Amino acid sequence: MPDDVLIIGGGLAGLAAGVALAEGGCRVRLLEQKPYLGGRARSFRDTATGSVIDNGQHLFMGCYHSTLKFLEAIGTSQTVTFDPQLRVRFLDVDGKLSELRCPSFPAPWHLLAGVCLSDSFTFGEKMDVLRMGRALRAANKAGPSLEQLTVEEWLSELGQRESLRRNFWDLLCIAAMNEDPQITSASLFRRVLRLALFNSPLDSRLGVPRAGLSDCYTDAAARAIADRGGSVELQRDVRALLVSNGECHGVKLADGTAIEARTVLSAVPWHVLPMLLPGEAVNSEPIFSRILGLHPAPIISVYLWFDRPVTDLEFVGLRGTTIQWLFNKGKILGTGENYISLVLSGAHEHVARSKEDLLDTAVQELRSLLPGMGGARLTHSLVIKERFATFSPCVGVDSLRPPAVTPVRGLYLAGDWTDTGLPATIEGAVQSGYFAAEAILHSN
Ligand SMILES: Cc1cc2nc3c(=O)[nH]c(=O)nc-3n(C[C@H](O)[C@H](O)[C@H](O)COP(=O)(O)OP(=O)(O)OC[C@H]3O[C@@H](n4cnc5c(N)ncnc54)[C@H](O)[C@@H]3O)c2cc1C
């Protein structure tokens, strides 16, 4: 086990790895480019309203076991609360509200019973979900052919009718995978469905952060590293990994400083790593050159402040609209502000639109979804486009994702995009950090 480990990147992956390594007895030095930690899962204060804003609303799931372990380890698990069972409400464009609430039966009966009891599905759609449950349980038999299929092809092969796909599976796919079912990998989606919906009622629960995302983990993780003799340094812009004779021996910063280290863990996003590696390593090592085949999938978040409450719902899936989820932030954070956030995932075709245009669409759609909001006046708004929110989990993506251990001695990788078997999620990021930490702790 190495004494000192240099980590690049202070997102969930880098911080989870840092805490695990520090707990394992390593002295951790973590370098983060930005003046803040958290990467793609962070929060900040809106200057106009003072409200706490996440760079995009995040949902947790009961199946995020590594994440829950991480939050326990740093003492912040109370910042995320879970419903006792899976409970999701859907609001249709005509204003109809329906619900999927799953009783605490053993899996998969919790989901199947929830669907059967729900007013969100027609009789035929309920039968389709039952068929899907059977197919998922027999999924091992489905085997490798699934690797070639998109979610849309797979769902239609399983006889899932159009209305159910549009109003349920597509919504789940876009929410969980951040990608259009027409290009999303069926095998990755199947894995997610099995873990999240068909494993256990506890794993299926949704969790909501009750504080700004950064407050859920960044300071506490940095403290856990510092308490064990490590350091977390902000505004440290790593420009190159120093590699010679097949071995990584440190990094070079933008100001020219070289930092020597025998063990380096890169926890930067996939579109950054190739720029830090020597060109010859990218060209000669397939695990690095394949990274260039990953593509981004954007998420757009629209934040709206009104002069009065517009809904009592805490969060709700939206159907028949461009925007897909509504989160009542004032209620979730317990601040009483009339502030909501709207999410548009897999937003390829919208990301080039102007913020004004996106805002108009969001407000118009909201008014048709919530006719009761009447003359509520919009007092403030914010639109955030995360163009590189996640990698696109398209067919074949698993073969592009590198493992934690690389052919360059002393260089390890973490990040939601590495080979975790999960889509780009909080859980994928934390797991990747743990995988890398484990590999480092067991190295000579
Ligand atoms: C809008 C949005 C909504 C999302 N919603 C959900 C959700 O509901 N549920 C869910 O599970 N997941 C969600 N995700 C995904 C989740 O946020 C990510 O999977 C996770 O945060 C990725 O963490 P990471 O540590 O792998 O990468 P990052 O968070 O990208 O961290 C990488 C870090 O490296 C730093 N860095 C980059 N280059 C350098 C450099 N040269 N030198 C030093 N540091 C560098 C970056 O500044 C960053 O801090 C969402 C993501 C977005 C963007």
**Mean pLDDT value across residues 244-264:** 96
Amino acid at site 241: L
DSSP-based three-state secondary structure for 207:
strand
Residue of 40, 216, 302 to test ligand 1 pocket, by largest number of atoms within 8 Å of CB: 40
DSSP-based three-state secondary structure for 86:
coil
pLDDT on residue 144: 55
DSSP-based three-state secondary structure for 287:
helix
13 lines ligand 1 (CB under 6 A): yes
Helix, strand, coil content of the chain in percent (nearest 5): 40, 25, 40
Q: What DSSP assignment string belongs to 100-115?
A: EE--SPSTTHHHHHHH
Q: What number does the ligand 1 atom closest to the CA of 389 have?
A: 53
**Is residue 376 predicted with pLDDT exceeding 70?**
yes
Cα 226 to chain centroid, rounded: 26
347 lines ligand 1 (CB under 6 A): no
**Mean pLDDT value across residues 170-186:** 95
pLDDT on residue 107: 83
pLDDT on residue 140: 56
**Is residue 254 predicted with pLDDT exceeding 70?**
yes
Average pLDDT, the chain: 94
Helix and strand element counts for the chain (H, E): 16, 20
Looking only at Cα atoms, what is the longest distance across the chain?
68
pLDDT on residue 78: 97
Q: Which positions ≥6 away from 332 have C-beta within 8 Å?
A: 208, 209, 210, 314, 315
Q: What DSSP assignment string belongs to 15-72?
A: HHHHHHHHHTTPEEEEE-SSSSS-TTS-EEE-TTT--EEESS---EETT-HHHHHHHH
Grade residue 112 by pLDDT with cuts at 50, 70 and 90: confident
Both tokens of 263, joined, read 């063990």
Q: What number does the ligand 1 atom closest to the CA of 272 have?
A: 38
Grade residue 143 by pLDDT with cuts at 50, 70 and 90: low
pLDDT on residue 58: 97
**Mean pLDDT value across residues 133-141:** 71
What distance in angstroms lies between residue 414's CA and the mean position of ligand 1's atoms?
11
Grade residue 139 by pLDDT with cuts at 50, 70 and 90: low
**Is residue 442 predicted with pLDDT exceeding 90?**
yes
pLDDT on residue 375: 87
| Residue listed under structure tokens 């950090």 | 433
pLDDT on residue 284: 93
Helix (H) or strand (E) holding 241, with range, is strand 238-244
**Mean pLDDT value across residues 185-213:** 93
